[in-house]
Amino acid sequence: MTPPQTVTPTLHILNKAPGHPRFEACLQSLSEADLLVLTESGVLALADHSVALPGACRAVKADLQARALGDQTRAQAIDYADLVRLTTDYSRIISW
Amino acid sequence: MSTLIVIDQPPYGSWAGREALDMVFSLAAFDQPAALLFTGAGVNWLRQQQAPDAIGQKSVEKNLSAAPVFGVEEIFADQASCQRFDLGPDNLVSGVTLAANLQAVLNAHRHVTFAG
Amino acid sequence: MTPTPLSYTLVITGAPWSSQAPQSALAFARELVTAGHRVDRVFLYGEGVLLASALASPPSDEVHWPRQWAGFLTEHSVPATVCIASALRRGIIDDTEQARYELPASNLLAPFEVAGLGDWVEGNLKSDRIIYFHGSN
């Protein structure tokens, strides 16, 4: 029997729109301690009610505003400075 | 610290898979631990007997079979994707490890990287 | 509380105007520097090499992504590599390659330099963080 893996908490940066195969692949790969950051086309997930978002989810403000989603409340909006800070907090980062 | 290069885009229609292969071979050339994962439509890179001369491209079959010699640790293919695209022992290139648990493969590597 | 400065390699694989990659990466890079972190290198790969074209000519009322990046790299003395294999294929050529292949022109935008994947491998190995900015198609 394989021993349980200790997974390093991971920051996932996802810029693909829901519907892109990598979008689903990313969501399926999330572990308990991970954080998902939606950027670029990825922020459209917040407008897509067929998408079940993890509790730990952020979205880049500039990308939300560009797409007229600045008022959304499904995820905490962050700016690029926040994103920098998140990349310092997580030693393992996957850019999808 | 091991790097897993993931190829999820199909062959020939885009260059992403080739660029991913260049990355993994570079890591191996510099003696860095590296492995490849083919998943989604990317598993179609692994079908035997591809003949891309007709579309003006080169086959990667030889590169893939040479991978272990050049130091690439392992070549994984997502089992579910292989099933979806009708790839099995009869038509998969040799040297591929079928991964039933994709998550485990991802978690086993420090760096998980796409070429594009 | 000032965080410990970290070193970053930024990889851009999405082209300007075909993707948001250069914009997202630049916005991120600017905040990195503001926060006191170090950008070890910017590495252009795949379609991202088009960011280093000196011949890009967007309309005057649009952001000129190659020039914006060139400005940032110069201002902060950040090494920037264009991967030679990706660049040659896509016609991003420096003077050396122009001479080598007897091409009619060169078009590499300073301060980008052409080099191999070894620069990426080094970043992967030595930088505290390596962040990729891909296209989203």
pLDDT score of B66: 87
Per-residue confidence at C2, pLDDT binned at 50, 70, 90? low
B27-75 pLDDT, tens per residue? 999 999 999 999 999 999 999 999 999 999 999 888 898 899 889 999 9
A68-77 pLDDT, tens per residue? 999 999 999 9
Report percent pLDDT > 90 for chain C: 98
Determine the average pLDDT of the residues in A68-92: 97
Name the token pair of C43.
């590495």
Q: Rounded to whole angstroms, how far apart are CA atoms C93 and C116?
A: 14
- Mutation pick from C31, C72, C137 vs chain A, by most beta carbons of A within 10 Å, is C31
Whether residue A30 is predicted with pLDDT greater than 70 in this model: the reply is: yes
Average pLDDT, chain B: 95
Per-residue confidence at A23, pLDDT binned at 50, 70, 90? very high
Report percent pLDDT > 90 for chain A: 93
How many CB atoms within 10 Å of residue C29?
Answer: 25
- Mutation pick from C18, C124, C126, C129 vs chain B, by most beta carbons of B within 10 Å, is C124
Q: CATH number for the domain including C101? A: 3.40.1260.10
Burial of A50 (0-12, 13-18, 19+ CB in 10 A): exposed
Answer whether residue C1 is part of any domain: no
Answer whether residue C76 is part of any domain: yes
Q: Total domain count for chain C?
A: 1
Q: Could you confirm whether C92 is annotated as catalytic?
A: no
Whether residue B114 is predicted with pLDDT greater than 60 in this model: the reply is: yes
DSSP states of chain A: -PPPP-PPPEEEEE-SPBTBHHHHHHHHH--TT-EEEE-GGGGGGGG-TT----SSEEEEHHHHHHTT-TT--SSEEE-HHHHHHHHHH-SEEEE-
Query: Which residue in B40, B104, B108 is closest to A25 by CB distance?
Result: B40
Burial of C42 (0-12, 13-18, 19+ CB in 10 A): buried
Indicate the SS3 state at residue B5: strand
Q: Rounded to whole angstroms, how far apart are CA atoms A64 and A78?
A: 10
pLDDT-wise least confident of A23-37, A79-93, B61-75, C78-92:
B61-75
Query: Which residue in B3, B22, B113 is closest to C117 by CB distance?
Result: B22
pLDDT score of A1: 54
pLDDT score of B111: 97
Q: Are strands C38-44 and C7-12 parallel, antiparallel or unpaired?
A: parallel
Of C39, C44, C83, C87, which residue is the catalytic one? C83
Per-residue confidence at A4, pLDDT binned at 50, 70, 90? low
Listed by start position, the domains of chain A span 10-95
Chains in touch with B (3+ beta-carbon pairs under 8 Å) read A, C
Residue range of the domain that includes C67? 7-133
Per-residue confidence at A96, pLDDT binned at 50, 70, 90? very high
3-state SS of C102-129?
CCCCCCECCCCEEECCHHHHHHHHHCCE
For the domain covering A10-95, report its CATH number: 3.40.1260.10
pLDDT score of A7: 83
Q: In sequence order, which residues have a C-beta less than 8 Å from that of residue C60 and are 6 or more positions away?
A: none
Determine the average pLDDT of the residues in B2-30: 96
Whether residue A32 is predicted with pLDDT greater than 80 in this model: the reply is: yes
Q: In sequence order, which residues have a C-beta less than 8 Å from that of residue B112 and are 6 or more positions away?
A: A94, B3, B4, B6, B106
Integer distance in angstroms from the first to the last C-alpha of chain B?
21
Binary contact (B103, A28; C-beta < 8 A): yes
Interface A:B, Cβ pairs < 8 A = 28
Binary contact (C13, B115; C-beta < 8 A): yes
How many CB atoms within 10 Å of residue B14?
Answer: 14
pLDDT score of B65: 86
Whether residue A3 is predicted with pLDDT greater than 80 in this model: the reply is: no
Domains identified in chain B and CATH numbers: 3-114 (3.40.1260.10)
Answer whether residue C2 is part of any domain: no
How many CB atoms within 10 Å of residue C103?
Answer: 13
pLDDT score of A51: 97
Average pLDDT, chain C: 97
B14-to-A4, A16, A87, B8, C2 alpha-carbon distances in Å: 37, 17, 30, 11, 44
Output the CA torsion sign for C6, B36, B30, B57.
negative
Answer whether residue C120 is part of any domain: yes
pLDDT score of A5: 58
CB < 8 Å to C134, chain B: 114, 116
Give this prediction's pTM: 0.97
